[in-house]
Amino acid sequence: MQGTAHLPASKSESNRALLLQKLAGGGTLTNLSEANDTVLMARLLDQAATTDLLDAEDAGTVMRFLTAFLAVSGWRGTLTGAARMKQRPIAILVDALRALGASIEYVEQDGYPPLRFGGQPVAAPADSMAELTVRGDVSSQYVSALLMIGPMLPGGLRLRLTGEVGSRPYIKMTLKLMRHLGATATEARRDEIAVQPGGYQPADYQIESDWSAASYWYALLALAPAGW
């Protein structure tokens, strides 16, 4: 068997890069994922400037990342999702954002989407670094969402993680992208990350391919008869 396999772009990296690009106010992204979640993320980030109702459908990453983005942006409106999304808890992230001063209310059931944003941006102190302690053993997307808005806070953010942190490579991915856009984030200890204030700088970025997709081709070759 001979040929070239073209791997799809990483959806995880694409979604992070889109949010950071919006916070940075510019930059060109190439090789973006064509996955539904990424297309939805790009559309909602653009629509946030002109509408007060956003629908994350059934995309959990979009719901979590947008929640943090809308909170730090001072957006006023409602972020909703599909029926299944309304059964997925989001209290850990909302509690953390409220601790930073964000105005977020639950529309239907406490702890679950939809969420109503009051238009008041986070009001973390300007003369000191905001400090949060969040569980790292539930979803690394909560951690990534908070980290990405860290540079936008007046005094930055110190994030302490409790529990057995899962999906640590995704947190590393988030930090790598943040640094590419000019953010300063240091891991003082294994479960403590300090993000300095100062925002982001626009920068071009090429999304990496999703190397996990190569596993299908490796499996095909492994199962193929000799000489096929």
Q: What is the predicted pLDDT for the residue at 217?
A: 38
In angstroms, the CA 136 to CA 160 distance is 9
**Counts of helices then strands in the chain (DSSP H, E):** 7, 10
Q: What is the predicted pLDDT for the residue at 211?
A: 47
Question: Can you name the residues that pair with 206 across neighbouring β-strands?
Answer: 30
Domain boundary assignment for the chain: 11-202
Which structure tokens are listed for 209?
A: 């391919």
Q: What is the predicted pLDDT for the residue at 228?
A: 55
Tell me the average pLDDT across 78-105.
97
Q: What is the predicted pLDDT for the residue at 71?
A: 97
In angstroms, the CA 50 to CA 215 distance is 41
What are the two backbone dihedrals, phi and then psi, of residue 49, each rounded to the nearest 5 degrees?
-80, -15
Is the peptide bond prior to 121 cis by the omega test (within 30 degrees of 0)?
no
Which structure tokens are listed for 168?
A: 């640590």
Q: Where are the alpha helices (DSSP H) in 100-211?
A: 140-149, 168-180
Residue 163: closest CA among 131, 133, 186, 195? 133
Question: What mean pLDDT, rounded, does the chain reach?
Answer: 91
210 pLDDT exceeds 70?
no
- Identify the weakest region by mean pLDDT among 81-85, 87-91, 134-138, 142-146: 134-138
Strands (E), the chain: 29-30, 53-55, 76-80, 104-106, 115-118, 130-135, 157-162, 185-189, 192-195, 205-206
In angstroms, the CA 25 to CA 30 distance is 16
The CA–CA distances, whole Å, from 33 to 3, 21, 108, 113 equal: 22, 15, 33, 26
**pLDDT one-digit tens code per residue, 40-91:** 999 999 999 999 999 999 999 999 999 999 999 999 999 999 999 999 999 9
Which structure tokens are listed for 82?
A: 């599909």
Helix (H, G, I), strand (E, B) or coil at 131: strand
CATH class assigned to 11-202: alpha beta
Compute the Cα dihedral for 177, 182, 187, 191 and give only its sign: negative
The count of other CB atoms within 10 Å of the CB of residue 85 is 21
Tell me the average pLDDT across 115-133.
89
Residue 120: closest CA among 158, 77, 162? 77
Tell me the average pLDDT across 22-45.
98
